[in-house]
Amino acid sequence: MVEVNNILMVCLGNICRSPVAEGIMKNRLDHYNLNIAVDSAGTSNYHPGENPDLRSTKNALKNGIDISNIVARQFKVQDFDNFDIIYVMDEQNKIDVLNLSRNDTDKSKVKLMLTELPGTSYKNVPDPYFGDEAGFQLVFDLLSEACENVAQRLKHQKTLQKK
């Protein structure tokens, strides 16, 4: 079992989906007293240095998560060394990240976020950027459930490791 010490959330712009994923994941890990670092990045260089899209920030805050201080950055090859799991929000993100991978170890770290939500009809976390407010709540709901599942599994693994 690979010990997980840090998790990276990745989308296209790092201003809508992955900052929400970062905020929720941190909240869930805190809830289970897990000392695991979480960061986020975008595959594109569209928005580096920017805070999250205000629609994402407002929607997350409405649901009790503050992501206003997150600053967007672009995914870089060194992220494969710095993170144990790289969750990508959609299949295009996965292609783009895998294109930068150097070996099988890098590749093995990349997972579609919603593989952590078995039973959902969504394969991808839908990009809300060009849509309406409902899209932001859908993103939040999907990520909440997926991150809860991840946190519960990591808690369980840590409990087993202590025994």
- Residues assigned a catalytic role: 11, 17, 127
In whole angstroms, how close is the CB of 119 to ligand 4NP at the nearest point? 23
| Both tokens assigned to 73 | 């950055």
CB nearer to ligand 4NP: pick between 105 and 115: 115
In whole angstroms, how close is the CB of 32 to ligand 4NP at the nearest point? 26
Cα separation, 104 vs 91, whole angstroms: 18
| Both tokens assigned to 71 | 């600053």
Cα separation, 66 vs 123, whole angstroms: 26
Sign of CA dihedral 99, 145, 37, 39: positive
| Residue carrying the six token digits 């859908």 | 138
**Interaction site with ligand 4NP (CB under 6 A):** 11-17, 42, 46, 127, 129
In whole angstroms, how close is the CB of 55 to ligand 4NP at the nearest point? 10
CB nearer to ligand 4NP: pick between 3 and 66: 66
